[in-house]
Amino acid sequence: MITIGEKIQLPDFPLLLAPMEDVSDPPFRIVCKANGADLMYTEFISSEGLIRDAIKSRKKLDIFEYERPVGIQIFGGDEESLSLAAKIVDVTNPDLLDINFGCPVKKVACRGAGAGVLKDIDLMVRLTAAVVKSTSLPVTVKTRLGWDEDSKNIETVAERLQDVGIKALSIHGRTRAQMYKGEADWSLIAAVKNNPRIHIPIFGNGDIDSPQKAVEYKNRYGVDGIMIGRAAIGYPWIFREIKHFVATGQLLAAPTVDERVEVSKQHLIQSVAWKGPVVGINEMRRHYTNYLKGLPNIKEFRNKLVTLKEVEAVLAVLDEVKTHYQGFEIAPQPIELINYHENCPL
């Protein structure tokens, strides 16, 4: 059993759904929870946006009982703003509050937030301490190895953040300078986990795209659990497949065509209900590549799915897919880690 704070209890080797801008919303979290995600996070939320009462920021606070345990993630580079945002989050009653010190994109990092805080570790510690003091929730942090190759200071960062009161730490195995290029380096994540001073849970993140890799990294690096981001986009079954492989050493069969279509439809309907038809349909488009991966000659159907603008029309195409490929058995497919846009798939 993995414990975060006094109340959050997770199973041994939990699987976490990463906070991803324009992805980790309630519709997506529904299908990930149904397939075995143990702890999920909202999209990251600007502390300044919350304080200004920005509609988009406030809407990201939406959480539901079936999601628990669920954390709300905030970001910012100012102590007062983060403190006020933490108090606002506190009222919405999530299970924990997470601070984003990992988003690498320019519009966030160059404003001194997200991974931009990695340039100033003293500031990172002050920001974290301010949030811890402002909320009754357990506070966790998501970050990277460092700003660049010459400043991989995650071991020091982990100790100092633990000292000011965080209850868990998730580490993406790249620097900010790497963005999502190259291979994630988990050796420093393991160094943090194996540090005798560290007693909080350490979760690893980066490049986990199969049950085999999840188990390999579990055994090699000894982390308490794994956070999965891009591999879950359009493939929420990654959670149940990893759990099955951890428990049995056997690979599950790939989801059937019927299951892929029905989950796609559920996701689309929930997306439209929560965001409205225009945004709901548009933001579903990034998921179809993996939802339908492995189906031969799928391009014609997929082109329709990413261009149609009416819910009924999209649902009709999904039904066509179901009928056209009835009885087709999909072989396990490598999951494509999609760099879906310039926001933050943490």
The second-level CATH assignment, the architecture, of 257-324 is Orthogonal Bundle (1.10)
Percent of the chain with pLDDT over 90: 62
Within 13 A of 247's CA, how many CA atoms are on the CB side? 10
Residue-level pLDDT at 3: 92
Q: Which residues contact 310 (CB under 8 A, 6 or more apart)?
A: 277, 281
Residue-level pLDDT at 107: 52
User: Alpha-carbon distance 255 to 246, whole Å?
Assistant: 18
Higher per-residue confidence, 206 vs 54: 206
Higher per-residue confidence, 49 vs 257: 257
* Tens-digit pLDDT profile for residues 47-62: 877 777 755 667 788 8
Asked which of 117-131, 195-209, 299-313 is least confident by mean pLDDT, the reply is: 117-131
Percent of the chain with pLDDT over 70: 89
Residue-level pLDDT at 47: 80
Query: What average pLDDT does the segment 323-339 reach?
Result: 75
Looking at the chain, which residues constitute the CATH 3.20.20.70 domain(s)?
A: 8-248
* Tens-digit pLDDT profile for residues 107-146: 554 454 555 677 789 999 999 999 999 999 999 999 989 8
* Tens-digit pLDDT profile for residues 263-279: 999 999 999 999 899 99
- What is the amino acid identity at position 218? K
Place of tokens 């982990």: 158
Looking at the chain, which residues constitute the CATH 1.10.1200 domain(s)?
A: 257-324
User: Alpha-carbon distance 40 to 66, whole Å?
Assistant: 11
For the domain bounded by 8-248, which CATH number is listed? Answer: 3.20.20.70
User: Alpha-carbon distance 343 to 57, whole Å?
Assistant: 15
Distances (CA, A) of 56 to 25, 45, 49, 61, 63: 12, 9, 8, 9, 14
Strands, E, within the chain: which ranges?
2-4, 8-10, 15-17, 39-41, 45-46, 70-75, 96-101, 139-144, 168-172, 202-205, 225-228
Place of tokens 């999530």: 94
Q: Which residues form the catalytic set?
A: 103
Say if residue 172's pLDDT is above 80: yes
Query: What average pLDDT does the segment 74-80 reach?
Result: 82
